[in-house]
Chain A
Amino acid sequence: MGMPAKWASGRNGDLGGWKWAIAVSLGIMLLHSLSILLFTRGFLLTRSELSQYSQCNDVADSPCFPPPPDQNANGSCWTKPAVDRLVIIVLDALRFDFVAPSAFFAEKKPWMDKLQAIHKFASQNQSTAGIFKAIADPPTTSLQRLKGLTTGGLPTFIDVGNSFGAPAIVEDNLIHQLVQNGKRVVMMGDDTWLQLFPHHFVRSYPFPSFNVKDLDTVDNGCIMNLFPTLYEEDWDVLIAHFLGVDHAGHIFGVDSTPMIQKLEQYNEIIEKVVSVLESQSGPGGLHENTMLLVMGDHGQTINGDHGGGAAEEVETAIFALSLKKPPLPPPAAADSSSCKLDMHGRRICINSIPQLDFAATVSALLGLPFPFGSIGRVNSQLFSLAGGTLNQEKSTTGDDSSPLEVENWMQYYVNVLCINSWQVKKYIDVYSSLSLIGFSEKDLLHVSKLYAEAQELWSSTSKNFSLDKSHKAFAPLPVVKQQLDAYSKFLGSVAALARSNWTEFNLKLMGLGFFIMLSSLYLHLFLIRRLDKQCGLQSCLSRYSREFFGVTFACILVLIRACSFLSNSFILEEGRVASFLLATIAIYQLRCAIAKKIMLLEALGLCLLVPMLRISIELGQLKQAVNSLFLKVDPSRTLGIDNDSQLWMYVAEVLPISALIMVACLLYKSTASCSSQGILKYVVAVTLCNYMLIPLHWASDSSLFSLPPFLEGIKGNIIPRVTYAAGLLQLSLLAISQLVVRERAQNLEECTVAKVLALLSAWSSTIIILSGKQGPLVALASSIGGWCLTRLMALEQDTRSESSRSSLSYVLPVTQWSLLAVCMFFSTGHWCAFDGLRYAAAFIGFDEFNLFRQAILLAIDTFGFSHILPIFGLPLLVAFCYPQRQNKQVFSMRLCQVYLIYGFITAVPVTFTMLCVTIHRRHLMVWGLFAPKFVFDIVGLLLGDLLIFLSALYYNA
């Protein structure tokens, strides 16, 4: 890494020189990248979404037997359909112990045994009904679970796909296959389904799911539509998603009266649904061959939380009831089922099924192609509930099962598993060839070996089968059993591989990343200390006591901010917390200013600026609250402004323009006061021209101003593109001048100020135009804020000469600078979530999508005011108050120190964010809140490191 280089140059005595600075910034950047890479590998599980879809005729490629051509020609595709219609009742957050009889648990709790109807039907129809313990995979949030249930895969936090932002499922899924194969799907209840499948349902009755306090709207809507629909025949699959239990859990917890009332209500509903279905299940009836599935998408803890991987959260239940009679007794039972007598003496058996298997099993039951990305296996028990109907022609005797029938079924099931294994193998192959982060070579080899073994076996077993066809004989049972085991082994190892890749955190990697991060913090501190020593500070202790208060104060504030990330509420309010801390420092400085009787105006100005920023942050929060599940903002907290009034519209148009003019004036004045570096003049002139173009761009969009006719031509994308081009030109000009012109300036400080101004002005026009109308206001605020902060540096100054001052006097101002940067991030209407990105900004100046270009524009918009400008502007803190005619080496050392302190202050919160996501990795909001915050933080940190590195290149003298 860069560390040896650093040590070497450190020993050379060139401490603080520009080579040293570059090496240090590069080294720290590498250290951070390594740490983040390791941590992210352990924490952020990613999976690529493939856009392939299974087709009906794909099955011809498989080594297995296609289903016999169907006389009725309806829907026989990969397998022969076992059920015609399917009623799926999803009860959100259905715990396993809501469904299973209390006899299965050590202790009877008040919420158990409430769904008596399920117990009754399960014990009455042993062969056609069953209760399953369904094991979900984390993350156990409704959206991810629905995705998992329908795709048969394991959704992760970042499913890399082309649906960035929109939640609609683009992968192959059950609903898509249903629609593709001519099944009509009706949906009612939770509107999440409509987000996932916007165009798939023939009819839908969605109800809003966001109000957690509302226990009944969704459920009543479901009930109102469910029963009439059951009598209709214009659908094949009906999905009813009830939310009451989930909401009751979130609000009241599991052990509560509303929860028990909800369960009792559901008991009635299930009873009624079954009676309706049974009333029409006679031969030729509407529900002659219908299957009912009552299932949960995930469980919940006693407090009603879910999202993590605790047993209570992942254990949910499926109750399946096939209306077709008489079916075959479950042939492959008894391996994983356990039976007990419930409190009424009824025998109830419970099998276990991974939720992963749901999509494949339902596809097999309906005769559909399995979803392309499904890695589940067709569950024998669930499949057999309706499987009896397959051999209906042959089954003459109803109840007792002849060995012939069992063998027949087994053989059929083996063929299904063959198709199943072939499909999973195909997916694994395609995935590992297309995905960037695939599976490891070793695992793939293992899986391939298992599949090859199973196929080898199949080639001999299938010979028996083909014999069977002609000779009406069956393959011997042990051979079939062996074949089943081979396929099960293969499918099991694929599922285990997928789980380890997509659902399990790697705590070792996370810990390693975290410790590297900690060591980088230590390195920061060590380097700052070393630079101090280099400056010739022996009596560090006495100096420390003099600057003790400011430094301790700054440390406490940074620590408070960092610790606040351990709580979800403070992450949501991060902007306000930052403005609170900034205001605290501002008030402290006002007090110092009064004490020292200098810089009063600047301190007051800063105090007045902070509330402005806060109001802007709160406006941003209002936007966030619109589609946030977690954040509740009292709209009255901000000033109520009537957006529609004419006056307000004029103000909204005029205010940015006047702010822009003021920014331009400030820039011009500060340039004029800076005694003239050649290149600076040109750069600033170009920026000022850009500033004049920006209002024209707005005016071309505005309805209030009509452009003069000769300017009509500039509508659209020309002005933003000109601005970008000019910005690039300015930057390259600065870079070239950096390379070509060797500075011989005597006055180092003025030279640095000029460089800073040139760089900031080069960036500003692009950032302002990307930020839209708020851009100039924020730019004005940040220039005023920056000016106040640099002036207030004088408070830390005393009569001693610069070279004898320790870096400690810079700690408080740099802390303040970084807090101001954080406030800027939030006051430009951003927040740490993916819906907090201003996607519109990426399309200013361009209409068509180009990933690279748009990503850069989006990054500049997101991090412009909070990272790019503050980091490039940081030398102002040193240069403005630096006593004239000082040692050049000391100056560059100061600059290094300030950058190191800034890096340290931004790295501390990131370290705490890492700690926080490690602690909360099974928290309800980990994917909704902590993980996005983590992503924003690490991107910000790496970008900051890069910018510090660039600054080290640029500001070396």
Chain B
Amino acid sequence: MSQVGGQTETSRLEFGSSSSPSSSILLQPMNHPRKKAPESTDAAVPFASSLKLLLLHLICALGLPSAFWVAFNSYSLSLIQNSAQTLLVVWAIEASVVILVYSLLRRNPDQCSNVKAIVRGLLGLLAGALVNALGAIVLGAPVGIQHFTKTIHWSLLMSVFTFVPAASVFGSSWTDWHRIFAQTKPIGSTDFMICFPAHGAVIGAWFGAWPMPLDWERPWQEWPICVTYGAIFGYLLGLVVSFGFVVYNNQRKHAKGE
């Protein structure tokens, strides 16, 4: 009974959002096969079954601990002692994982080759690093020269969390970027997978900055260590939330299909 109620409620919402005149003007038909009919979502994203999405989420999530493991075991680096080098290893590994995973989810897989998606992801990595670094400096990251490499590597990692997935999937489609990051209106599994982890990482990093002024004199209070922890925690939480939404979305669609 309640399930039916919830179902109609959400479908009404989705109908409302997709049929409102402003969004239909904004959204280009090419990038939005979903607009025509909700059932065609699965066709547009071939990997969208729950199991596969779980796998993708897991790969993204496990990329981080394995990157730390590699950094610790192969190079004997730890985030607290060698933050810049560790961040370098971590973002490099996580970036390759994320770019590969999200290039599978790319929009219009027929017109856009895998290689192109990977190149887009790499470009997005650089652009995102710039934006993240600027954001960090606006929020109070130290600007001294000795902090420069740390800031660069941290913002590259943040870029992996935030910009790279969107760049791999959407390329330069401004409307999609606008929808995900400015309006926060994700539609469908891929959008969830881009939107929630990215927002989680940013909000986590914001909260991660709070212990920094405390006078506990712990080494992890240094820039950017606790901010990185916060970002990673937020990212993982975002992945969990996104997976939850994806599963819920699929079930709903499944029920609707029947």
Contacts and interface: CB of A to CB of B under 8 A. Distances in A.
B222 to A, nearest CB: 10
A592 B181 CA distance: 10
Contacts of A611: 137-138, 143
B116 interface: no
Contact of A591 (B138, B144, B181): B181
A586 B140 CA distance: 13
Nearest to A568: B215
Contacts of A595: 178, 182-183
Contacts of B209: 580
B14 to A, nearest CB: 19
Interface string A612-641: 001100000000000000100000111110
B142 interface: yes
Contacts of B145: 640
Contacts of B143: 611, 615, 638-639
A548 interface: no
B111 interface: no
A577 interface: yes
A583 B138 contact: yes
A926 interface: no
B140 A637 contact: no
A587 B183 CA distance: 14
A637 B146 CA distance: 9
A605 to B, nearest CB: 12
B215 A569 contact: yes
B213 interface: yes
B139 interface: yes
Contacts of A614: 140
Given A569-B214, A570-B213, A591-B182, A579 B140 contact: yes
Interface in A550-583: 567-570, 572-573, 576-577, 579-580, 583
A573 B182 contact: no
A583 B144 contact: no
A610 interface: yes
B206 interface: yes
B28 to A, nearest CB: 17
B140 A580 contact: yes
A540 interface: no
Q: Name the residue among B144, B181, B213 with the largest chain A CB count within 10 angstroms.
A: B213
Nearest to A595: B182
Interface residues on B, range: 10 to 19
Given A569-B214, A570-B213, A576 B144 contact: no
B144 A580 contact: no
Contacts of B140: 576, 579-580, 583, 614
Interface string B210-249: 0001110000000000000000000000000000000000
B136 to A, nearest CB: 10
Given A594-B182, A637-B144, A587 B213 contact: no
A607 interface: yes
B29 interface: no
B144 A572 contact: no
A594 B215 CA distance: 38
Contact of B139 (A568, A584, A608, A615): A584
Given A577-B213, A595-B182, A636 B144 contact: yes
B248 to A, nearest CB: 23
B135 interface: yes
Nearest to A571: B213
Contacts of A568: 215
A568 B183 CA distance: 38
Contacts of A594: 178, 181-182
A587 B203 CA distance: 12
Nearest to A572: B213
A587 B182 contact: no
Nearest to A632: B215
Interface string B129-155: 000000101111011111000000000
Contacts of B215: 568-569, 630
Interface in B178-220: 178, 181-183, 206, 209, 213-215
A608 B139 CA distance: 10
B213 A569 contact: yes
A614 B141 CA distance: 10
Contacts of A567: 214
Given A569-B214, A580-B209, A587 B139 contact: yes
A819 to B, nearest CB: 13
B59 to A, nearest CB: 29
Given A591-B181, A638-B144, A583 B213 contact: no
B144 A587 contact: no
Contact of B144 (A573, A579, A639): A639
Contacts of A615: 143
Contacts of A608: 138
Nearest to B213: A573
A536 B213 CA distance: 46
A174 B209 CA distance: 51
Nearest to B217: A632
A377 B145 CA distance: 62
A607 B138 CA distance: 6
A8 to B, nearest CB: 47
A272 B183 CA distance: 78
Nearest to B142: A637
Contacts of A580: 139-140, 209
A117 B214 CA distance: 42
Q: Name the residue among B140, B142, B146, B183 with the largest chain A CB count within 10 angstroms.
A: B140
A587 B214 contact: no
Nearest to B143: A639
Q: Name the residue among A576, A591, A610, A611 with the largest chain B CB count within 10 angstroms.
A: A611
Interface in A407-425: none
Nearest to A609: B138
A939 B22 CA distance: 51
Nearest to A573: B213
Contact of B138 (A572, A587, A639): A587
B135 to A, nearest CB: 6
A56 B242 CA distance: 85
B144 A584 contact: no
Contacts of A638: 143-144
B139 A583 contact: yes
A594 B182 CA distance: 6
Contacts of A584: 139, 206
Contacts of B144: 636-640
A592 B183 CA distance: 8
A570 B206 CA distance: 16
Q: Name the residue among A572, A595, A640 with the largest chain B CB count within 10 angstroms.
A: A595
Contacts of A570: 213-214
Contact of A586 (B138, B146, B178, B182): B138
A826 to B, nearest CB: 13
A570 B181 CA distance: 31
Nearest to A586: B138
B44 to A, nearest CB: 25
Interface in A288-345: none
Interface in B158-183: 178, 181-183
Interface string A31-68: 00000000000000000000000000000000000000
Contacts of B138: 583, 586-587, 607-608, 610-611
Nearest to B181: A591
Contact of B146 (A573, A583, A636): A636
14 contacts: A569-B214, A576-B213, A583-B139, A583-B140, A591-B181, A591-B182, A607-B138, A608-B138, A611-B143, A636-B146, A637-B142, A638-B143, A638-B144, A640-B144
Given A586-B138, A595-B182, 17 more contacts: A568-B215, A569-B213, A576-B140, A576-B213, A580-B209, A583-B138, A583-B139, A583-B140, A591-B182, A592-B182, A594-B182, A595-B183, A607-B138, A608-B138, A614-B140, A637-B144, A639-B144
- 3 nearest interchain CB pairs? A595-B182, A573-B213, A594-B182
Interface of B: 135, 137-140, 142-146, 178, 181-183, 206, 209, 213-215
